[in-house]
Amino acid sequence: MPDRDLFDLTGRVAVVTGGSRGLGRQMVLAFAEHGADVVIASRKLENCEEVARRVEALGRQALPVAYHAGDWSSSDALYETVYDRFGRVDVLVNNAGMSPLYESVDTISEALYDKVMEVNLKGPFRLSALVGTRMAGPDHGGSDGGSIIFVSSTASRRPSPSELVYGAAKAGVNNLTYGLARTLGPKVRVNCIVPGPFLTDISKAWDLDAFEANAKSAFALERGGQPHEIVGAALYLASDASSYTTGALIDVDGGPR
């Protein structure tokens, strides 16, 4: 295959949860720019519709869908909606996530604990089980069933005191990546992007002066990531460029020291 075709997604259907903002939005637009039709799934439908218009302006089909990653039945509904519209999924990106703040570890409520686990682990498991089984089945078409991409976090390995539950949930995502790669192979590839700190809209709540000062000593690249810098890893895992890569965790984190 010529190198110029490795990242071509023409004719493929990609689903991106949490696709209306941040890293998910960057992935949606990158997939569309490389030829894919894209499903944008997130809690606020109007935000999904705005991104869908951007995708359509690139000449690709877009399907905005309201989706709550923490609701088991919402994964079922998204699965049915996508297959009713397109009849196939070639790329699934489990990007939706949340990490709410809390005062101290002893103040974490059962409701908060359950919500973080549901959004970051339960939902991605259910959606991947449904889509992955269909990808691996005989009705998907072709020898390659597709690619599932999880989005984890460096907190899965080195959680700060404010990320304990979130880090535990993302550690589960890392484990799920390995397990599903073996469950759904050989037709389906399952991999995981492990981002460090990215300067998305969530960073507006940070003390950016303190972050930038700390980054000088905390990261080899001495800065946080820009949203577009997630695109290379996402395109690699979504496309034929990663045809012999599965069960992998790919760090995109600026090189923590």
The enclosing domain of 245 has a CATH number of: 3.40.50.720
Mean pLDDT over residues 178-197, rounded? 97
Given a cut of 60, is residue 1 above it in pLDDT?
no
Which one is predicted more confidently, 103 or 206? 103
Domain assignment present for residue 257? The answer is no
| pLDDT score recorded for residue 141 | 59
Domain assignment present for residue 203? The answer is yes
Given a cut of 90, is residue 4 above it in pLDDT?
no
Q: Three-state SS for 7?
A: coil
Structure tokens at 111: 């409701």
| pLDDT score recorded for residue 5 | 83
| pLDDT score recorded for residue 56 | 98
| pLDDT score recorded for residue 145 | 80
Across the chain, mean pLDDT equals 94
| pLDDT score recorded for residue 119 | 98
- In which band, very low, low, confident or very high, does the pLDDT at 212 lie, cut at 50, 70 and 90? confident
Residue 238 sits in which domain range?
3-250
Given a cut of 70, is residue 3 above it in pLDDT?
no
| pLDDT score recorded for residue 205 | 66
Domain assignment present for residue 33? The answer is yes
Mean pLDDT over residues 62-85, rounded? 98
String of DSSP letters for 199-247 = -SGGGGGS-HHHHHHHHHHHBTTSSPBPGGGGHHHHHHHHSGGGTT--S
Mean pLDDT over residues 200-209, rounded? 73
Domain assignment present for residue 188? The answer is yes
Mean pLDDT over residues 129-136, rounded? 97
Domain assignment present for residue 140? The answer is yes
Q: 167-173: long-range contacts at Cβ-Cβ below 8 A with a sequence spacing of 24 or more? A: 168/117, 169/116, 169/117, 169/120, 169/121, 170/97, 170/120, 170/121, 172/120, 172/121, 173/94, 173/120, 173/121, 173/124
Domain assignment present for residue 256? The answer is no
| pLDDT score recorded for residue 211 | 84
- Dist. CA 58–CA 51, nearest whole Å: 11
Does the reported pTM lie above 0.85? yes
Span 137-155, pLDDT tens digits: 987 755 578 999 999 999 9
Domain assignment present for residue 255? The answer is no
Which entry of 79, 102, 166, 236 is annotated as an active-site residue?
Answer: 166
83 is catalytic: no
Mean pLDDT over residues 198-220, rounded? 82
Mean pLDDT over residues 5-22, rounded? 96
- Per the structure, the count of domains in the chain is 1
| pLDDT score recorded for residue 142 | 53
Mean pLDDT over residues 61-73, rounded? 98
* Alpha-carbon torsion (118, 115, 205, 174), positive or negative: negative
Mean pLDDT over residues 217-242, rounded? 95
| pLDDT score recorded for residue 25 | 97
Mean pLDDT over residues 234-247, rounded? 97
